[in-house]
Homo-oligomer: A and B are copies of this chain.
Amino acid sequence: MKQVYCGMAAVIEKGDEILILKRTKERDFEPEAWETVTGRLDEEESPVEGILREIQEETGLTAEVIMPLDTGFFYRGGKEFPMVFISYYCRYIEGEVKLDWEHTEYKWIKLDDALKLPDLKHFHVMLKNLKKIKEFLPENFKYSFSPAIKS
């Protein structure tokens, strides 16, 4: 068993809308495509700590993680880059969107509209699971998560 990179994705919900971001045209992978917040794990952090850091870096927003929505494996741009990803359902807490160099635009859109966007095809499993679970979850439902253990 080899080591892998770990990537995270986040669908951030605010009221009845979710946040999508447009990738800059300089990005090596899928330039100018709409996506959700994504990022890679830093050293000695849990994936939940990692995605909250990425949300802050890429959008300036403070959010909380409700629960995971999908997990998977792919090669990000080549066989030397095996990646496991974990997608999370997150809830907006506070802040105004401030984009960094990775994105040029943002939109808050309805989940059903996101499911119609071809750009978001890599995120459809995550978004469909979100739609399915939201039928049953009470407001303010939230998992607890294991913190990173650094020793």
Q: In A52-75, which residues have CB < 8 Å from any B CB? A: 67-75
In the bound assembly, the distance between CA atoms of A70 and B1 in angstroms comes to 22
Q: Residue-by-residue, is A106-136 near B (CB-CB < 8 Å gives 1, otherwise 0)?
A: 0000000000000000000100110011001
Asked if A29 is an interface residue, CB under 8 A from chain B, the answer is no
Q: Which of A3-11, A20-28, A30-38, A92-100 contacts B (4 or more CB under 8 A)?
A: A3-11
Q: In A135-150, which residues have CB < 8 Å from any B CB? A: 136-138, 141, 143-150
- The total of chain A residues at the interface (CB under 8 A) is 46
**Residues in chain A within 8 A of chain B (CB atoms):** 1-6, 40-49, 67-75, 82, 84, 86, 125, 128-129, 132-133, 136-138, 141, 143-151
B72 touches A71 (CB 8 A): no
Closest chain-B Cβ to A30's Cβ sits at a distance in Å of 14
B71 touches A46 (CB 8 A): yes
Which residues of B lie under 8 Å from residue A69 when comparing CB positions? 143
Most chain B CB neighbours (cut-off 10 Å) among A49, A74, A132: A74
In the bound assembly, the distance between CA atoms of A141 and B82 in angstroms comes to 30
- Contact among B3, B41, B75, B138 with A149 in the assembled complex (CB-CB below 8 Å): B75
Most chain B CB neighbours (cut-off 10 Å) among A69, A73, A82, A133: A73
Which residues of B lie under 8 Å from residue A41 when comparing CB positions? 1, 4, 73, 84
